[in-house]
Structure 1
């Protein structure tokens, strides 16, 4: 998305409708996000999507958008070679914009600088091999979840890792703190997850997709419990949905339990997979940050 100054001509039209005509490949919702980000001004002033444009209005589109996060990939990097990048994503960093239009026009990431995708685009553009899609992002963590993520740098690595995730040969282990007492040292939650038509939230639902999660108790004080969690399937929000389903929601989960806290108490602790080039087993462990450890200690004291 390049900086532009466009004089408006013709009959009156809403700003979002006008921008949709300028960027026909973008959805209306994505156009609204661009406007709300502050990247669009009319006659030098911030504007709302519903603003009616009139003859000779000047529409200015800037790539400035949201403020830079101040984060650098080098500070997150755990491992890198010619095929893959392994990072420790901090809590609060969105992996990519929720609208898929960014995959069609990577320059639109200049509007959404507070994402991992924007960091990859700005710092890794010259490191990707030909044919890599979605900036090598092959899986994701929720914005408030921290921990290990794998990024593909070549088409071969991307294709191979996608197969590993699809065939469930990537082993992932999370650490989490939940509400309530957990009585069993080890157990599994085998409950399908899906979303009814018109419902934005996922839930355990008889018509959902097979979902399996293994739970190991680390410590409990009756009010809170510290867990090691291994999702065996890769459904969206699987851990949060399953733990909410058994009435032990993740502390800080404002979607599935409405439990206000300093942060979501979920961390992707360990990931094991097969290197797409060498065939060797790779395992990466990242301890939670100091705040996570402090909060676990406070909850279980």
Structure 2
């Protein structure tokens, strides 16, 4: 049976990449709205209720409006906005996050796609909290840099459109300086931390790709865990996963640097444990494509699970 899929917001950055991944597939039928009727509520409602699965690539308020238009209980919804990432009744779409999460996604009709930064942060931190190596009460800091595509059309224009009044030559920009980034609640809520992490995001002058880093003073933690302890906890958490890989300590030690564009075009997430055992310090790093495992790739993976298809199809 062919699954009918409607991408609401297919003209946006994430929507375009999802469509690119889905369009060659014979097991799916992609539904599209006439561009002239995109703001026609009746036309949208017809497609939203006539699809087997809907992927929302919209701003938060527009995503909420779209959900309100769906009255067909058989329609499965994946929302790529931040509107429902900590909402009751919605399943968090990070299948590798915890035991049972994949089954929860597969059995849900309402799935919230994770944010790109939270994907890396949760992947690094949650296993350590669950293993008792990192107390839930610990003050955690996360530093990250993303390609400018993560900021959507407006930011892409800033970095690419030389005719724009907002065009910038900045090589690097730290932002959310008041610590009010909208991903913080998601990061805290899905790791079990008792306090919001201190999040220091930045954007670099490249289109896509991301590094998320959590520095830890291991010698200050209760139990004084070693690099080996941290690595073992992460490796155990993701053993056998297709899209999440934990680099060996030998591989991490051999690296002289890390390219944020290293996994572009993929749905992969790679975790590294760097550090100095003598100093009792660690740098935990997640590498991913902010438009892959951080957005469109994750949405396709969740779609596959929800519709009973091969999880890796299109990826």
Tell me which interval the TM-score lies in, with the shorter structure as reference length: under 0.3
Larger Rg: 1
Return the structure number with greater relative CO, CA threshold 8 A, min gap 6.
2
TM-score (norm 1): 0.26
The structure whose residues are more often strand, as a share, is: 1
TM-score (norm 2): 0.26
